[in-house]
């Protein structure tokens, strides 16, 4: 390929906005045996990698990019070996407002990877290259899938399929989080559960919840009723699996917002809502006590 054609392709690709607007942060406060510059370089490299990779063939306008963040908390470092956790968060705008609603908030505690300063990060969907690339690609697709689910029924299917492909390929790397034996709060179960019909009420609840949020500017009472109904939809999972992973994922993102929604503005009957919340998410009972009757 000639240099002219190659440059043209690069320019053409840059004219199409990528899907994510992700803020990457590296916390290395616990690392005392390294030059901090390598962590700053990693932070910049990951930011560029996530935001400049075209993860799909979809075209996003700049104002349609998904707002998200990844916070890597490092606990150990030795040469090119890094160990820590990664906190992944995303949000989406609410119609006719300046407010953004949290969609995903997950702390992955099984995150170890190799990285050499200044190495090129490149994603090939058909191969396993490193655990760093696989984890970041997996969560990029999860963010897109969850976001799409808040707008249309089963809107995230295509993204979850891509996330599952990343997970399957990553199993050959031997890192924790990709296999069934790695615990029921792992990446393995996150993608398998979200694609399972057993847990479809989670996806239905996310759509119902956010359709309610999008009504807030026009009819707060009706919007609150819709959000309240989404919790009832989610409770169908509790009836089958009382301690389901996805129920926890839902409330890790939504618990604070739920309290805020039902603690101000036009009032609706919430006694049954609070009862339901205490039943399906008892770990947040102290928060539910702040919802006003």
The reply to whether 228 and 148 lie within a common domain is no
What sign does the dihedral 102-15-161-157 (CA atoms) show? positive
Would you say residue 61 lies in a domain?
yes
Q: State whether 144 and 242 are in the same domain.
A: no
DSSP character at residue 293 = -
> How far is the C-alpha of 138 from the C-alpha of 170, rounded, in Å?
10
Same domain, yes or no, for 133 and 31? yes
My answer on whether 99 and 233 are in the same domain is no
Does 160 lie in the same domain as 31?
A: yes
Rounded Cα gap, residues 263 and 26, in angstroms: 35
Domain shared by 26 and 160, yes or no:
yes
Q: So what's the pLDDT on residue 292?
A: 76
Q: What is the mean pLDDT of the chain?
A: 92
Domain count, the chain: 2
Q: What is the mean pLDDT of residues 179-197?
A: 96
Listed residue (255, 256, 261) closest to 280, CA to CA: 255
Residue 33, token pair as written in the block: 């045996």
- DSSP for 242-284, written as a single string: TT-HHHHHHHHHHHHHHHHHTTSSS----HHHHHHHHHH-GGG
Two structure tokens written together for 34: 């390294």
pLDDT at 293: 63
176 part of a folded domain: no
- Residue 111 phi/psi, 5° resolution? -135, 105
Q: Are residues 90 and 226 in the same domain?
A: no
Asked if residue 96 belongs to a domain, the reply is: yes
Question: Are residues 46 and 131 part of one domain?
Answer: yes
Same domain, 141 and 212: no
Domain enclosing residue 159, as ranges:
18-165
Query: Are residues 157 and 54 part of one domain?
Result: yes
Beta-strand relationship, 66-78 and 20-27 = parallel
Residue 109 has pLDDT above 70, yes or no: yes
Residue 70 main-chain phi, psi, to 5 deg: -135, 120
- Interval 15-70: pLDDT, tens: 345 899 999 999 999 999 899 999 999 999 999 999 999 999 888 788 889 999 99
Q: Are residues 147 and 216 in the same domain?
A: no
pLDDT for res 185 = 94
CA distances from 100 to 23, 47, 75, 219, 227 (A): 16, 21, 31, 18, 15
Q: Are the CB atoms for 236 and 204 separated by under 8 Å?
A: no
Instruction: Tell me the average pLDDT across 273-287.
Output: 96
């Amino acid at each position: 390929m000639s240099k002219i054609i190659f440059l043209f392709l690069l320019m053409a690709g840059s004219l199409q906005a990528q899907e994510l607007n992700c803020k990457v942060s590296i916390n290395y406060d616990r690392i005392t045996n390294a030059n901090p510059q390598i962590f700053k370089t990693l932070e910049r490299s990951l930011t560029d990698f996530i935001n400049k990779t075209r993860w799909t063939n979809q075209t996003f306008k700049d104002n349609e990019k998904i707002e998200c963040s990844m916070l890597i908390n490092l606990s150990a470092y030795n040469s090119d070996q890094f160990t820590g956790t990664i906190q992944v968060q995303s949000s989406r705008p609410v119609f006719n407002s300046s407010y953004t609603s949290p969609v995903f908030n997950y702390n992955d505690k099984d995150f170890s990877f190799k990285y050499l300063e200044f190495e090129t990060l490149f994603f090939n969907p058909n191969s396993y290259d490193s655990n760093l690339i696989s984890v970041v690609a997996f969560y990029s697709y999860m963010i897109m899938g969850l976001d799409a689910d808040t707008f249309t029924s089963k809107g995230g299917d295509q993204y979850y399929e891509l996330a599952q492909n990343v997970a399957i390929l990553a199993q050959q790397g031997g890192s924790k989080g990709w296999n069934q034996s790695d615990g029921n709060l792992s990446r393995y179960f996150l993608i398998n559960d979200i694609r399972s019909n057993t847990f479809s009420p989670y996806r239905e609840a996310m759509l119902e919840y956010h359709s309610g949020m999008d009504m807030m500017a026009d009819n707060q009472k009706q919007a609150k009723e819709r959000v309240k109904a989404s919790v009832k939809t989610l409770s169908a999972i509790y009836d089958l699996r009382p301690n389901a992973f996805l129920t926890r994922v839902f409330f890790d993102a939504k618990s604070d917002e739920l309290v805020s929604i039902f603690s101000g503005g036009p009032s609706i009957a919430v006694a049954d809502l609070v009862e339901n919340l205490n039943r399906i998410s008892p770990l947040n009972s102290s928060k539910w006590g702040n919802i006003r009757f």
